Amino acid sequence: QQQVRQSPQSLTVWEGETAILNCSYEDSTFDYFPWYHQFPGESPALLIAIRPVSNKKEDGRFTIFFNKREKKFSLHIADSQPGDSATYFCAASEAGNTGKLIFGLGTTLQVQP
């Protein structure tokens, strides 16, 4: 049973559009929700993270929207660029342990110029 579900599996957008990647989770004890991106042949790199005390977090073109009641969170990438093309993983961990991350299966994003 996948505790963190991610959709879509793949996504193609045009340059300049907003890409929306979605995740949902099962466990109510999760309280740390990061997004990582991974380029081919490289390691995952932290992009942005949120805790349930907030329902939104922004960092430049990247925004996490968080809905605690529905146990869903999403990553919005505004003004998508071809350089954003990568695999994006959402994850979750329990309170007090940001190391034990449960990852989603990833969304492969392709930004077409």
Partner 1 sequence: DSGVVQSPRHIIKEKGGRSVLTCIPISGHSNVVWYQQTLGKELKFLIQHYEKVERDKGFLPSRFSVQQFDDYHSEMNMSALELEDSAMYFCASSLANSDYTFGSGTRLLVI
87 binds partner 1 per the rule CB under 8 A: yes
- Of 23, 44, 90, 92, the one binding partner 1 (CB under 8 A) is 44
Q: How far lies 102's CA from each of 2, 66, 73, 90, in Å?
A: 9, 17, 14, 9
State phi, psi for 82 to the nearest 5 degrees: -55, -30
State phi, psi for 84 to the nearest 5 degrees: -85, -10
DSSP letter assigned to residue 83: G
CB of 90 to partner 1, least distance (A): 11
Give the C-alpha separation, 87 to 60, whole Å: 19
46 binds partner 1 per the rule CB under 8 A: yes
- Of 34, 66, 80, 111, the one binding partner 1 (CB under 8 A) is 34
22 binds partner 1 per the rule CB under 8 A: no
Give the C-alpha separation, 38 to 53, whole Å: 27
7 binds partner 1 per the rule CB under 8 A: no
**Minimum CB distance to partner 1 smaller for 18 or for 54:** 54
97 binds partner 1 per the rule CB under 8 A: yes
Q: Residue numbers of the site for partner 1 (CB under 8 A)?
A: 34, 40, 42-46, 49, 87, 89, 91, 96-103, 105-106
